Amino acid sequence: MASPSRRLQTKPVITCFKSVLLIYTFIFWITGVILLAVGIWGKVSLENYFSLLNEKATNVPFVLIGTGTVIILLGTFGCFATCRASAWMLKLYAMFLTLIFLVELVAAIVGFVFRHEIKNSFKNNYEKALKQYNSTGDYRSHAVDKIQSTLHCCGVTDYTDWTNTNYYSEKGFPKSCCKREDCTPQRDADKVNNEGCFIKVMTIIESEMGVVAGISFGVACFQLIGIFLAYCLSRAITNNQYEIV
């Protein structure tokens, strides 16, 4: 049986670890809420971009929503484990954090390796969407209109891409190519935006990639801190139990 003075030295350590881990878990829970919100926002606002990548890309918002939900549940579990000061629950919490860290690491590596394929996929699908474009409102045509009107662009590389489409031969340029909302361009190139959409979309994506990479790296490092804290608190609780015995 350990001396009372040693037990008194261990308890402040446990209290300190519990306080820090509770703060960490709360912040971790907030990141889950943010991921959930970003996934919902991506589904609502960026669906046009995802739909022109490939069919699997449209699942990206659902992946974010699912990840955010898992983090919220895991954060709640971590808070409960910390408050209960349960050694085995804290070890389980650390294991789940490690698993999520590895999944994020693999996802980051895959995204970096296949980043050029994403560009090529978008360009090819955008060209295909132009050739199959119609004004009846299928999802690809709607995506093209949304991108062209939002970014004030026309075609893939420039507005001349439309001249090779069936829609142009029948009706001219689509209204989404207009420089003004009330124009009817038909085949008048002076009334449409000259810049292509591909460069503009890639510029937006590349400008945000650094931010996304930085946030991902920060979240991954943050999870390593949580793994360390959960493991240390679990060890401290276990050692304290042995000291009491």
User: What would the pLDDT profile of 51-63 be if each residue is shown by its tens digit?
Assistant: 666 655 556 677 7
pTM of the model as a whole? 0.68
- The pLDDT score that the predictor gives to residue 6 is 46
- At residue 3, what are phi and psi to the nearest 5 degrees? -70, 150
- The pLDDT score that the predictor gives to residue 121 is 79
Cα 194 to Cα 109: distance, rounded to the nearest angstrom: 37
| Of 102, 70, 63, 75, the residue nearest 224 (C-alpha) | 102
- The pLDDT score that the predictor gives to residue 48 is 65
Q: Are 218 and 16 in contact (CB under 8 A)?
A: no
Cα 34 to Cα 178: distance, rounded to the nearest angstrom: 36
Cα 192 to Cα 132: distance, rounded to the nearest angstrom: 20
Q: What percent of the chain has pLDDT over 90?
A: 4
| pLDDT confidence band for 137 (50 / 70 / 90) | low
| Of 224, 65, 57, the residue nearest 124 (C-alpha) | 57
- The pLDDT score that the predictor gives to residue 243 is 42
- The pLDDT score that the predictor gives to residue 73 is 92
| pLDDT confidence band for 5 (50 / 70 / 90) | very low
Cα 97 to Cα 4: distance, rounded to the nearest angstrom: 35
